[in-house]
Structure 1
Amino acid sequence: MVSQTTSIHKTAIISDGAKIAEDVEIGPYVVIGENVSIGRGTKIGPHAVIDGVTTIGENCNIFAGAAIGLPPQDLSYKDAPTGVIMGNNCTIREYVTIHRGSKDPMTLLGNNCFLMNYSHVAHDCKVGNNVIMANGTTLGGHVEVGDFTVFGGLVVFHQFVRIGRFNMVSGNSGTRVDLPPFALTDGRPLYVRGINVVGLRRAKIAANVRSAIKEAYRLLYRSDLNMANACARIEEEIEQFDEIKEIVNFIRGSKRGVARGNLGNSYDLSSEEDGRAD
């Protein structure tokens, strides 16, 4: 079903079952599968391919050569009817690949995400809202990414890794373990280097909450406590804002372990440049 107000180039191939909403623009040589739904106002550039049981939200901008909803790179996949769900207002640049689910029904991408050239989101990933992935960012299967996370270019994540909200990840890096929320992470492998104060301020997180986050990370990464004891101290000594509970629950819920602090070459959590909470 194609809306009458949609613009489709004559070389595009649109399967009969595809649902194309109003004011969609589809460029030359685009291929859209029969189980695909495209939301209102979305633009799809030349040679893009969208397949699987895939839903693209409204006002997305998908550039040339992007491939969304193709089968996963998973030897156990047996042609299950899976796909991708993409939110609204996403920008998908040239040659990005987002694979359909393998064991979970859907790979998920939230609203207002910006995926730069050659980024890859593997099967069964769950990417939150307002996430930015710079060129060449690669997420292995089943990776979970929290809202407002920003990835530098050429970073690689092992399958099943979790990245907490408001994480700022340095480029040319990678990890096999989880990255906690509200952190600056850098190095290879990635270490926790400080608090993402700029991101928290932009999100209008209150100063007293930012100070509590800083104190929580001081106990986690600047004390002699192990993670379990540090979490217990955080619950005893720090006011239990939702963000503090989020940090503790994230760490206790980790199955792969949590990134360490690089004490040999670390930023000062209390310094004005990167750790000041006020």
Structure 2
Amino acid sequence: MANKISPLAYVDPEAKIGENCEIGPFCFIDKNVVIGDNNRLMNSVTVLYGTRMGNGNVVFPGAVLGAVPQDLKFRGEETTAEIGDNNTIRENVTINRGTAAKGKTVVGSNNLLMEGMHVAHDVFVGSGCIIGNSTKLAGEVVIDDFAILSANVLVHQFCRIGSYVMVGGGSRTSQDIPPFTMAAREPIKYCGLNLVGLRRRGFSSEVIEKVHKAYKIIYDSEKLMKERLEEVRETLGGCKEIDYIVDFCSSSQRGIIAG
């Protein structure tokens, strides 16, 4: 189907636009941009050099996609901001493209990025995530699939947030938040399992109980973290969720949040 492009929008002749896209008035589409099929860009959306967008996304007014990194080390490298399929990107969201560090910023598919949230350079956001109003992700942060970050969450550079996590509004973290957990308070702490989220996603009672036992060992033991993780693997291993927890915590570069 033909695209609907407002005569008040600017689309660079070198931009590649798929089929059945709607581009509203006062949008700006730069050169070296690729936009797939069935995307809807409302008015006043800015899509800058190096942006790659999949199919079926809806972008609300004022969003800026693919702006150069807010990183003083950036020297104009050829980098990208890559956005998957079926995302809802609300008003004034900003997604910066990558630097030489990783070369690209990635937002997966089926995410809801709420008003005013920021995705910095070289961030990786998985799929199925919900990220609340005015939440800010610093450079090279990793958000695994199905994580939920409430409004006004601040995530320090290089941090990782695991799958199925729920982070309370107004929290700030400079450490990793392991999967399946809730995190909140000031300073931020482990607040138990994200039970409601896990049940909604169809996790069995048996798996939830194993995960609960794993975190009881991780957060209640006085052993060294390496020894705690070995105990978790030995007593509860053979389950992909437990393996994920152990791998996440053992590979953490910034350490996991306190209990």
TM-score by length of 1: 0.91
Q: Is the 8 A contact 2:120 2:138 kept in 1?
A: yes
Matched residue of 1:234: which SS?
A: helix
The corresponding residue for 2:143 is 145
2:216 aligned with 1:218:
yes
Q: Give the distance between the partners of 2:45 and 2:204, measured in 1 at CA.
A: 42
1:159 to 157, 160, 171: 157
Q: Is the 8 A contact 1:220 1:226 kept in 2?
A: no
The corresponding residue for 1:8 is 5
Q: Bigger CA drift: 199-208 or 176-185?
A: 199-208
Partner amino acid, structure 1, of 2:70: Q
Partner amino acid, structure 2, of 1:246: Y
The corresponding residue for 1:51 is 48
The corresponding residue for 1:67 is 64
Alpha-carbon displacement from aligned partner over 1:9-60 (angstroms, at most 9, x marks no partner): 1111101111111110000110011111112111001111111221111110
Map 1:227-238; keep pairs closer than 5 Å.
227-238=225-236
Alpha-carbon deviation of 1:223?
2.7
Q: Is the 8 A contact 1:58 1:87 kept in 2?
A: yes
Matched residue of 1:136: which SS?
A: coil
The corresponding residue for 2:99 is 102
Partner amino acid, structure 2, of 1:26: I
Q: Give the distance between the partners of 2:225 and 2:201, measured in 1 at CA.
A: 27
Q: Where does structure 1 differ by over 3 angstroms across 4 or more consecutive aligned residues?
A: none
Q: Is the 8 A contact 2:237 2:243 kept in 1?
A: no
Map 1:85-234; keep pairs closer than 5 Å.
85-103=82-100, 104-234=102-232
Q: Is the 8 A contact 1:184 1:195 kept in 2?
A: yes
2:29 aligned with 1:32:
yes
Q: Give the distance between the partners of 2:250 and 2:112, measured in 1 at CA.
A: 30
Matched residue of 1:257: which SS?
A: coil
Q: Give the distance between the partners of 1:228 and 1:115, measured in 2 at CA.
A: 36
Matched residue of 1:246: which SS?
A: helix
2:76 aligned with 1:79:
yes
Alpha-carbon deviation of 1:152?
0.8
Q: Is the 8 A contact 1:83 1:105 kept in 2?
A: yes
Matched residue of 2:32: which SS?
A: coil
Matched residue of 1:192: which SS?
A: strand
- How many residues are aligned here? 258
Alpha-carbon deviation of 1:206?
2.3
Q: Bigger CA drift: 122-131 or 183-192?
A: 183-192
Q: Is the 8 A contact 2:160 2:177 kept in 1?
A: yes
Q: Give the distance between the partners of 2:233 and 2:211, measured in 1 at CA.
A: 12
Matched residue of 2:183: which SS?
A: strand
Q: Give the distance between the partners of 1:212 and 1:52, measured in 2 at CA.
A: 47
Structure 2 unaligned runs (5+)?
none
Partner amino acid, structure 2, of 1:232: E
Q: Bigger CA drift: 58-67 or 43-52?
A: 43-52
The corresponding residue for 1:270 is none
Q: Give the distance between the partners of 1:176 and 1:190, measured in 2 at CA.
A: 9
Q: Give the distance between the partners of 2:28 and 2:78, measured in 1 at CA.
A: 18
Q: Give the distance between the partners of 1:239 and 1:110, measured in 2 at CA.
A: 29
Structure 1 unaligned runs (5+)?
262-278
Q: Bigger CA drift: 45-54 or 127-136?
A: 45-54
Alpha-carbon displacement from aligned partner over 1:233-257 (angstroms, at most 9, x marks no partner): 1112114201101101111101111
Q: Give the distance between the partners of 1:251 and 1:236, measured in 2 at CA.
A: 15
Q: Is the 8 A contact 1:145 1:162 kept in 2?
A: yes
Q: Give the distance between the partners of 2:77 and 2:119, measured in 1 at CA.
A: 18
